[in-house]
């Protein structure tokens, strides 16, 4: 199982759930598992079969470079990191 922390902007889809555990071996599988549980979440995370522009995934504190193909080890903590605007 993998612990996934849901960004505040997505919590309207999760009923304000902050953290969920899912079975997944890659970020793609993780997003698909989240979509099954919380319909609409995939649309917020994925565009054209890739992570949306401005969205990063951190696995155990390291930002992924492989996007949806990034392996996710069992027991990992995963955070979706939306871009922060400002100037």
**Could you report the per-residue pLDDT of 36-78, keeping only the tens digit for each?**
999 999 999 999 999 999 999 999 999 998 999 999 999 999 9
Domain presence at residue 17: yes
Domain presence at residue 53: yes
Q: Beta strand pairing status for 62-63 and 2-5? A: unpaired
Q: What is the pLDDT of residue 32?
A: 97
pLDDT for 83 beyond 60 = yes
The total number of structural domains in the chain stands at 1
Q: What is the pLDDT of residue 85?
A: 60
Q: How far is CA 71 from CA 2, 47, 57, in A?
A: 11, 19, 11
Give me the mean pLDDT over the 20-46 stretch. 97
Domain presence at residue 11: yes
Q: Could you list the residue range(s) of the whole structural domain that residue 67 is in?
A: 2-82
pLDDT for 10 beyond 70 = yes
Domain presence at residue 69: yes
Domain presence at residue 23: yes
Dihedral over Cα of 66, 68, 71, 75: its sign: positive
Residue 24: give its domain's CATH number. Answer: 3.10.20.30
Provide the pLDDT confidence category of residue 82 given band limits of 50, 70 and 90: confident
Domain presence at residue 87: no
Rounded CA gap, 1 and 26, in Å? 12
Domain presence at residue 22: yes
pLDDT for 87 beyond 80 = no
């Amino acid at each position: 199982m993998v612990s996934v922390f849901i960004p505040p902007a997505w919590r309207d889809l999760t009923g304000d759930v902050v953290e969920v555990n899912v079975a997944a071996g890659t970020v793609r599988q993780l997003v698909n598992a989240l979509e099954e549980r919380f319909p609409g979440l995939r649309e917020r995370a994925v565009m054209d079969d890739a992570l949306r522009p401005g969205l990063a995934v951190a696995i155990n504190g390291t930002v992924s470079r492989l996007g949806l193909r990034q392996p996710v080890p069992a027991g990992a903590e995963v955070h979706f990191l939306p871009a922060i605007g400002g100037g």
